[in-house]
């Protein structure tokens, strides 16, 4: 629809004379006996991509109406001679549109505050705080190098300065700082060493597949469950999806669905020639 939209707007010089009462049934044009109404323009406007929604209303009105007129000029000539493919395509489009509107109405109905709170409580009410760790490390190739660094630290050397000078890891230029992490984010030997430390304490040499580490625990903190406001959008999205799933399950259970037993060659779904037979 958008391909010729702006061209249509530029071509049209149509001015709509206000009627005493204008509603969705107000006729804006008639093409070969087929009315194009304000309702048709409203529906087409709502379906425009976001980048077109910011256009001025007068441009939208003129452009969409012109496009609908052009479409009806073509459609009115072809409507009485629809091919089998066109008729089946229209049936699919109608089915999809009606279903989409019905599901949208189910999904987008208001979610009461108490329902949102209940969902938050169900997901986060019993979440235990998770401990986060902030550590720095110096990565070297051998245990001897690691032990020598520990001795320098015991003598008063600055950890960040040693990391910048000696660490072969990517965090070296940043003083070995690894930031905040929780259990499961680091390799097991490294985590075990960190978890055994007190804040400010330096570990003995720790070996991982990356080499030998000297680790200092900078700080710890508890990561509490997020506030309702932080997760509200994803909770609402989940509730809306749950509504749709429940509605589909309920409607399917109540529907009379019959599936004839037959052998069907799956390759037939690509045979466009069958549509016009």
**Domain end point (choices 16, 48, 81):** 81
Q: Are residues 57 and 134 in the same domain?
A: no
In a domain, 273, yes or no: no
In a domain, 251, yes or no: no
pLDDT tier at 18, thresholds 50, 70, 90: low
Q: What average pLDDT does this structure show over 23-52?
A: 94
pLDDT at 88 over 60: yes
In a domain, 262, yes or no: no
**Domain end point (choices 81, 105, 140):** 81
Q: Of residues 257 and 1, which shows the higher confidence score?
A: 257
Q: What average pLDDT does this structure show over 97-103?
A: 96
Per the structure, the count of domains in the chain is 2
Average predicted confidence (pLDDT) for the chain: 91
What b/e string do you get for 256-276 counting C-beta neighbours within 10 Å, with b at 16 or more? Answer: eeeeeeeeeeeeeeeeeeeee
In a domain, 86, yes or no: no
pLDDT at 149 over 50: yes
Q: Are residues 136 and 208 in the same domain?
A: yes
In a domain, 250, yes or no: no
Q: What average pLDDT does this structure show over 65-79?
A: 94
The confidence score (pLDDT) of residue 15 equals 45
Residues of the domain holding 191: 130-223
Q: What average pLDDT does this structure show over 246-274?
A: 94
Write the CATH number for 203: 3.10.50.40
Model's pTM, two decimal places? 0.60
The confidence score (pLDDT) of residue 20 equals 57
Q: What is the pLDDT of residues 198-257, one digit of tens each?
A: 999 999 999 999 999 999 999 999 988 889 999 999 999 999 999 999 999 999 999 999
In a domain, 202, yes or no: yes
pLDDT tier at 127, thresholds 50, 70, 90: confident
The confidence score (pLDDT) of residue 196 equals 96
**Domain end point (choices 47, 81, 115):** 81
In a domain, 267, yes or no: no
In a domain, 88, yes or no: no
Residues 6+ apart with CB under 8 A from 158: none
């Amino acid at each position: 629809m958008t391909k010729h939209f702006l061209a249509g707007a530029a071509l049209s010089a149509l001015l709509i004379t206000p009627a005493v009462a204008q509603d969705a049934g107000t006729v804006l044009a008639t093409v070969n006996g087929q009315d194009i109404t304000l309702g048709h323009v409203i529906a087409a406007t709502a379906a425009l991509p976001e980048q077109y929604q910011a256009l001025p209303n007068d441009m939208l009105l003129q452009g969409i109406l012109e496009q609908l007129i052009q479409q009806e000029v073509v459609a009115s000539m072809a409507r009485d001679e629809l091919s089998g493919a066109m008729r089946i395509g229209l049936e699919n489009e109608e089915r999809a549109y009606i279903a989409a509107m019905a599901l949208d109405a189910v999904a987008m109905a208001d979610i009461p505050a108490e329902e949102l709170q209940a969902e938050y409580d169900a997901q986060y009410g019993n979440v235990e705080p998770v401990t986060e760790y902030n550590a720095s490390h110096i990565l070297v190739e051998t245990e001897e190098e690691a032990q020598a660094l520990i001795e320098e630290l015991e003598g008063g050397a600055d950890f960040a300065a040693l990391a910048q000078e000696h660490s072969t890891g990517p965090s070296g230029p940043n003083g070995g700082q690894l930031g905040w992490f929780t259990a499961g984010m680091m390799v097991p030997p490294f985590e075990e060493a960190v978890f055994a430390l007190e804040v400010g304490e330096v570990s003995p040499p720790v070996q991982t597949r990356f080499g030998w580490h000297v680790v200092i625990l900078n700080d710890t903190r508890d990561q509490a469950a997020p506030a309702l406001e932080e997760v509200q959008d994803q909770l609402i999205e989940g509730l809306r999806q749950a509504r749709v799933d429940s509605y589909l399950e309920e409607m399917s259970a109540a529907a009379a669905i019959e599936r004839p037993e037959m052998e069907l060659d799956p390759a037939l779904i690509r045979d466009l020639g069958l549509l016009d037979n």
